[in-house]
Amino acid sequence: DSGPGITVNTVKPYTIVLKQGWNDIGVPFHFNVDWNDIISASAIDTQHVQGPHSYIGRWEYPFENTVLRPWQGYSIYSDLDDISLVIPALEAPETLQKRQPFVQRADFDWVMEIKARSGDATDVSNYFGCFENASLKWDYGLDFVEAPEMGQYVSVYFAHDDWELDATRYTTDFRPPQKGHVWEFEVASNKEHAQVKLSFRSLREFPASLSLKLLDQEAGVKIDLKNDSTYSFQFSDKESVRHFTVYAGDSEFMEQHQDDMPSEASQFELVQNYPNPFNN
């Protein structure tokens, strides 16, 4: 329900006041507006505002949305209260250029993508890896806040309550190139007995000198992501969040963390074959 409509002047800027947290907005004009023009007109601290997000059955993140289009809804995250977002009456030029993921930039050392699927529910825009100018803390333009869940969902996120922003869940987590790093991420779902398939894909060639291991903390299952690109599991009766750890590093780093990775599973469960029916 959009509520009562109003007429706006299409030759003057239009101001929307953002509240702390997530804000749902639309373009007040009948033409496309470039997000960079909005930032320039607003003169705001962009480190406290993340957007625009759009929802197309899955969340599209800011690096996928550079232009706001009329008659479409967008979600903007603000870390502060009462921030004025000024939308200029400036039409964005049409372009046929295909949108490229921000992880295609040349200054990324390596990037891994995580996709989660549970039936019709998906979460596909999750990335981690090493970036030349990244820090061990929150990095503007690299570490994006995880968008809110919609309906029946499966969600992959990196939990950080120690980062600069007020948010605690992030869809990306990039670190500086070093001997090794440990990433912890969580998978959550509100679907009962959800069966989840995690898929991992390297978007930049993963260094041959590094190892890449995934640990399912609850099950005690360890897999080598350089050999196995998928991992499936099912939530138990009282479980809605599963915790995972990724170890990426050279031989010395992996040796230092060998005791953190069990050699055999800590729990077993007989579940329905999936998918059912299945072929050879």
Strands (E), 2-120: 14-18, 21-26, 33-34, 49-55, 59-60, 67-68, 73-78, 83-87, 108-118
| Span 173-219, pLDDT tens digits | 999 999 999 999 999 999 888 899 999 999 888 899 999 999 999 98
Q: Mean pLDDT by 10-residue block, N- to C-terminus, for the chain (280 residues)?
A: 82 94 93 93 85 87 87 92 93 69 74 93 92 91 89 93 90 94 95 91 89 92 92 87 95 88 64 57
| DSSP character string of 107-130 | TEEEEEEEEEEETTEEEEEEEEEE
CA-CA distance, 148 to 51, in Å (whole number)? 13
User: What's the predicted TM-score (pTM) here?
Assistant: 0.82
What does the pLDDT read at residue 171? 93
Indicate the residue type of 2.
S
Predicted confidence at residue 61, as pLDDT, reads 84
